[in-house]
Amino acid sequence: MRKLVYFIAATLDGFIAGPDGSDPSGPDGFWPIPEDYLEHLIAEYPETLPGPARAALGVTAEGTRFDTVVEGRRSYEIGLDAGLTDAYPHLRHLVVSRTLGESPDPAVELVAGDPVARVRELKQEDGKDIWLVGGGELAASLYGEIDTLILKLSPTTIGAGIPLFGRKAVFEPAAWTLTDHTVLASGTAYLTYERATATVAVTVAD
């Protein structure tokens, strides 16, 4: 079955964006993108680059991991504000929102109902894994459906911002098993965790 993978850049203190939610990776931003980070992304996850970035970098590789991307309305609006109605034209693209009304792009599916139900349907279909791009609030809504967590961990702390699971996440501990890791010279780490399955103690009677 296809997996839902929360593939996300995070600071050491667990934030995915600064307090105002704006893009922090620009030239004057607090979250610069090291060269080796980008090289690893292009080599391993080329499908996660937005269309304009792929064009600018000459990336044409389809990628092996994802064919579908799901994002929350506030994350989607960052692309919209930059004039992009579909930042990932090379992927099947779904946006979750109760307020958008209709999709600004015929290629982007608006999920106005329960995102958990829609993700469960997607998981039943054939295909590659489903990339949950964020943000934190949607990740909290889909918390129980996330099979894999891939953190692109930046050697930065920011003290405050939008947490990995948003500002309204509830206390719900889960265990994760580290299955892959790449630590780069810049200090960035790509860490892959699979949701740990609960162990069941079985007592066999004599």
What does the binding site for ligand NAP look like in residue numbers (CB under 6 A)?
8-9, 16-17, 21, 23, 72-75, 78, 96-100, 115, 133-138, 141, 162, 166
Provide the minimum distance between the beta carbon of 5 and ligand NAP in the complex, in angstroms, as a whole number. 13
Which residue, 16 or 128, is less far from ligand NAP as judged by CB? 16
Which residue, 23 or 62, is less far from ligand NAP as judged by CB? 23
Which residue, 20 or 126, is less far from ligand NAP as judged by CB? 20
The Cα 51–Cα 86 span in angstroms is 8
- Going from the C-alpha of 169 to that of each of 29, 54, 166, 181, the distances in angstroms are 26, 33, 6, 26
Provide the minimum distance between the beta carbon of 37 and ligand NAP in the complex, in angstroms, as a whole number. 12
Q: Which of 43, 42, 33 is nearest to 187 (CA)?
A: 33
The Cα 113–Cα 111 span in angstroms is 6
Q: Is-contact 133 69, C-beta < 8 A?
A: yes
Provide the minimum distance between the beta carbon of 157 and ligand NAP in the complex, in angstroms, as a whole number. 14
The residue at minimum Cβ distance from ligand NAP is: 135
Which residue, 144 or 196, is less far from ligand NAP as judged by CB? 144
Task: Give 91-128 as a DSSP string.
Answer: SEEEEE-SS--S-SSTTEEEE-S-HHHHHHHHHHSSSS
Which residue, 50 or 136, is less far from ligand NAP as judged by CB? 136
Which residue, 54 or 73, is less far from ligand NAP as judged by CB? 73
- Angle, CA of 139, 37 and 156, to the nearest 5°: 65
Q: Which of 22, 31, 16 is nearest to 166 (CA)?
A: 16
Provide the minimum distance between the beta carbon of 73 and ligand NAP in the complex, in angstroms, as a whole number. 3
Provide the minimum distance between the beta carbon of 161 and ligand NAP in the complex, in angstroms, as a whole number. 8
Q: Which helix (H) or strand (E) holds 39?
A: helix 35-44
Q: Which two tokens stand for residue 101?
A: 């009304």
